[in-house]
Structure 1
Amino acid sequence: AVTLDPDTAHPKLILSEDRRCVRLGDRKRPVPDNPQRFDFVVSVLGSEYFTTGCHYWEVYVGEKTKWILGVCSESVSRKGKVTASPANGHWLVRQSRGHEYEALTSPQTSFRLKEPPKCVGIFLDYEAGIISFYNVTDKSHIFTFTHRFSGPLRPFFEPCLHDEGKNIAPLIICSELQKSEESIVPKPEGKGHANGDVSLKVNPSLLPSQDPELFPLQDTIVSWPSDLVPALQGLKAPSF
């Protein structure tokens, strides 16, 4: 399961004890200024390093009005202002306001979602060069990046500013028990890879055509069972 790496967290971010939740604090914490830590971009990386295989995780965003999620290269700059783009090792999607979203391409790709997701699914297929985002709430495809990856990749999380008190809730990484009963990918098969995740077989019908460089949302609906259980049913409040 994906967890947060406290050594990469910006000083204003507060992580829960189980390292599954992150929220923005009111002030910077006295933490070591190590080379891995972001000092300008208010974000945190996952502890996992992905160098092969397929991986899937879900993040509960709830009623947040702004957030940034995705994957980045381990080699991205942690110091100073950074322009997020695939060319710089970032594959990220952002909620900017209301039903408006952006894929942080260059230039940015803007689109709207019919229903704002309360939970976002992120799927990475390293060998196929695919990073896909899904709305777990209405079972729809949001966006897909394609890229020829090299080097380790890591999950990326940014809870964003408080937005006048409307965006104070944390981002929460769903545990295995909290994930949807039927996820974007089938249940794991085979033995685990060296980086800790199991091999997953992906139904090709769930992925868009791989001809373009990237894919904005086009009302693509993922075919999931009708009895899908909400991803965060019974979620307990995190302990910060």
Structure 2
Amino acid sequence: SSISTGSRSSPAFQQIIKTTGVLDNNLLVFCVLFSPSDSCEVKLNTNTANRLLVLSEDNRKVTAGREEQPYPDHPERFDYWSQILCRDGLTGRCYWEVDWEGGVRISVTYRGISRRGAGDDSWFGANKNSWSLECSDKSFSVWHNNISTYIPAPPSSHRVAVYLDWPAGSLSFYSVSSDTLIHLHTFTSTFTQPLYPGFWFGFWSGSSVSLCQME
């Protein structure tokens, strides 16, 4: 489902945006209410970046490369998966947007996710500690605990919004196109720890994520 919100700097957005979506096959209507005060300025934690990831634009853009970067050893660095986390754990109501290219997963995870090896315990969306939206030019899919749900609609834009309502146990993803938010999926859970935004990049170079400035 989609709604027209007007410009995100307009009075309509400055009050409240209402978005409704249908969850799974239960025809359960889930209502999300959020305001500009929920906007979060997420920042990348460079100590977590896999060495095949290239940081640019004042550490606001991450691009998957072919050559390892000379990042120092760090216990928080992902040593196999092309992944990176953001700095701050979130426990409130938070809204952020990212631009993406190629094949990526836009994720949140508990801090304790493994950083070592190629197992599911370290891959965003493949374990019980992380939730992901996978984006490609052909489709979207969502992942949690290595279970995926295909979203057949092709991307209408390459900008995604994430809205986390940690106290309510909901995590929603939207496609952002001009002044329209298109609901893609909402996870519901009982979150027990702060959630860290993070990103996974497919096994080809050129995939990228850019953090959007939230006004």
Aligned twin of 1:160: 202
Separation of aligned partners in 2, 1:176 and 1:98: 25
Residues 21 and 47 (structure 1), Cα distance of their counterparts in 2 relative to 1, 3 Å cut: same
Q: Quick one: which amino acid aligns to residue 109 of structure 2?
A: C
In the other structure, the counterpart of 1:101 is 140
Displacement after TM superposition at 1:26 (Å): 1.8
Partner of 2:58: 18
Q: Distance in 2 between matches of 1:86 and 1:159?
A: 14
Q: How does 1:29-178 map to 2 (within 5 A)?
A: 29-50=69-90, 52-61=91-100, 64-83=101-120, 84-85=124-125, 87-95=127-135, 97-105=136-144, 106-137=146-177, 138-162=180-204, 168=206, 170-177=208-215
Cα distance, 1:20 vs. partner?
Answer: 1.0
Asked if the contact 1:8/1:37 (under 8 Å) is kept, the reply is yes
The structural deviation recorded for 1:145 is 0.8
- C-alpha change, 1:19 and 1:112, in structure 2 (3 Å) is same
- What secondary structure sits across from 1:7 in the alignment? helix
Q: 1:39 to 1:169 in 2, by over 3 A?
A: closer
Deviation of the 1:87 alpha carbon: 4.6
Q: Deviations over 1:76-127 (max 9, x none)?
A: 11111132447531110112x4332221134211121244331000011111
Cα distance in 2 for partners of 1:161, 1:85 equals: 16
Give the 4+ runs in structure 1 shifted more than 4 A: none
Residue ranges of structure 2 left out of the alignment (5+ in a row):
1-40
- Measured in 2, the distance between the counterparts of 1:135 and 1:123 equals 12
Deviation per CA, 1:160-189: give whole Å up to 9, x if none. 233xxxx62531100124xxxxxxxxxxxx
Q: Retained in 1: the 8 A contact 2:126–2:147?
A: no
Contact 1:58 1:120 in 2 (8 A): yes
Distance change in 2, residues 1:23/1:87 (3 Å): closer
Closer, same or farther: CA 24–149 of 1 in aligned 2, 3 Å: same
Distance between the aligned counterparts of 1:121 and 1:103, measured in 2? Answer: 14
Distance 1:30 1:114 in 2: 37
Structure-2-length-normalised TM-score: 0.72
- Please say if residues 99 and 116 of structure 1, whose CA atoms lie closer than 8 Å, have aligned partners that are also in contact: no
AA aligned opposite 1:65: G
Unaligned runs of 5+ in 1: 178-240
2:166 counterpart letter in structure 1: Y
Given the two structures, how large is their TM-score scaled by the length of structure 1?
A: 0.65
Percent identity reads 30
CA distance in structure 1 between the aligned counterparts of 2:200 and 2:132, rounded to whole angstroms:
10
* Count of aligned positions: 169
Residue type of the alignment partner of 1:14? V
* Alpha carbons 2:103, 2:207 under 8 Å: kept: no
